[in-house]
Chain A
Amino acid sequence: MPQLLEPGTPAPDFTLHVTPDQKLSPSELRGRPVILAFYPADWSPVCGDQLALYNEVLPEFQKHKAELLGISVDGVWCHEAFAKDRHLHFPLLADFEPKGAVAKAYGAYRDGDGFCERALFVIDKTGKIFWSYCSPVSINPGADGILEALENLSKS
């Protein structure tokens, strides 16, 4: 298993497609916490559950002014169809070309499999990693770790 970037590390910046004609960089979101949720693939059942859960917890993330970004190696059109089907209210980024480059920069890429780990990062408002967690690929990590990290972040 690759080594996830640890808390205290500056979060590598990147620019990825969020829709077919729009790109997004986490640095555009400086000033508020960013949650990066790497996940293996659109449409796979566990992911569906994980993202469906985050979709429901979203208002709570927003209370902390946090921005949630989902990332997988799927392409923009796939993300668009998936987000529409599941009524997702947060952006999905396409780590598609070069494939998995962002996941690799965060230590969250599975080389043999060719997709992302199920890895979570909470980045503070200055762009530093505050918390990270890698879940076994078949296990939905839930939202408790993220909520706790956001609460600790508000206290610090």
Chain B
Amino acid sequence: MATLKVPVTSDDHIQGDEHAPIVLVEYGDYECPDCGRAYLIVKRVQKHFGKRLGFVFRNFPLSEIHPNAASAAEAAEFAGANGRFWEMHDGIFENQNALGLPLLLTLAEALGLSTTDLDSALTSHEYAPRVKSDFMGGARSGVNGTPTFFINGHRHAGTFEFDDLVAGIEARREQT
């Protein structure tokens, strides 16, 4: 079974503790409809496990089929560099139907981030190397589509439905 080749570190965007008993890593694409659905399910899974779970999001944009995925990922990384990653991440998924540059600028503005800086970061692709590095780490780890989840470093083989994710996490905890 595929395992995570790039360990979770403090460089990751994490909600909760990187040393929590359960660390759930998602490789996702902001324009992927399934990731949009998984976003809400992950929130429920986080609530279910509380502090026992740390959640990491890494970028896996399929840019050729999702033309807005890479800019969304770069905008989230821009927000991350300014300490507002999760607000941007949530804002994008909650408004996935309206994805595009205007949405990214609106979200940035609502978070008190400079829209001029965001615009120039997107134009210069300042955060593209980070997105690319996430992507390649995912590809090496056997990510074959989005969303793909890893539970404590092991790829989750089931679906991303709530019951399946919870069962996958419970099964992994029993083994460790």
Contacts and interface: CB of A to CB of B under 8 A. Distances in A.
Interface in A117-156: 140-144, 147-148
Between A50, A52, A56, the greatest number of chain B beta carbons within 10 A of the residue's beta carbon is seen for A56
B125 to A, nearest CB: 14
Given A56-B135, A60-B136, A142 B64 contact: no
B139 A144 contact: yes
B8 interface: no
B115 interface: no
Interface of B is mostly: loop
Contacts of A86: 64-65
A56 B63 contact: yes
Interface residues of B, number: 16
B145 A57 contact: no
B64 A49 contact: no
A48 B141 CA distance: 20
Interface extent on A, as a size class? 20 to 34
Nearest to B64: A87
B62 A141 contact: no
Interface of A is mostly: helix
Contact of A53 (B2, B5, B140, B145): B145
A57 B144 contact: no
A56 B128 CA distance: 14
B142 interface: yes
B139 A60 contact: yes
A140 B65 contact: no
A144 B6 CA distance: 13
Contacts of B63: 56
A88 B63 CA distance: 11
A26 to B, nearest CB: 24
A57 B139 CA distance: 8
B62 to A, nearest CB: 5
A55 interface: yes
A55 B64 contact: yes
A49 B145 CA distance: 6
B145 A144 contact: no
B80 to A, nearest CB: 22
Interface string B129-143: 000000110011111
28 contacts: A48-B65, A49-B144, A49-B145, A52-B62, A52-B64, A52-B65, A53-B139, A56-B61, A56-B64, A56-B135, A56-B139, A57-B136, A60-B139, A86-B64, A86-B65, A87-B65, A88-B64, A140-B144, A140-B145, A141-B144, A142-B2, A142-B142, A142-B143, A142-B144, A143-B139, A143-B144, A144-B141, A147-B139
